[in-house]
Amino acid sequence: MLCYLTEPPILCTTEEIMSISNHQIMQDVETYVAKVRKEMLNEGVRQRLKDQNEDQN
């Protein structure tokens, strides 16, 4: 569920996630959110590269 909250269209803030998940340490949530957002960025780059390769063919 935390993964869903960090992704579009929800994009909860760290504080919002902490209030929902009852995490006490903000750094734990920030680390998790950063990891998920990095994966989202990576996927976006992969998709653009794939689209670019398809356009060239």
Task: Give residue-wise pLDDT tens across range 9-52.
Answer: 888 888 888 888 887 888 888 888 788 888 888 998 999 999 98
DSSP 24: S
- Euclidean distance between CA atoms 3 and 18, whole angstroms: 13
Judged by DSSP in three states, 48 sits in helix
- Euclidean distance between CA atoms 11 and 3, whole angstroms: 10
CB contact at 8 A, 31 and 18: no
Question: Does 6 have pLDDT greater than 80?
Answer: no
- Euclidean distance between CA atoms 3 and 6, whole angstroms: 5
Q: What is the pTM of this model?
A: 0.57
Question: Does 3 have pLDDT greater than 80?
Answer: no
pLDDT (0 to 100) of residue 20: 86
- Euclidean distance between CA atoms 33 and 12, whole angstroms: 9
pLDDT (0 to 100) of residue 49: 92
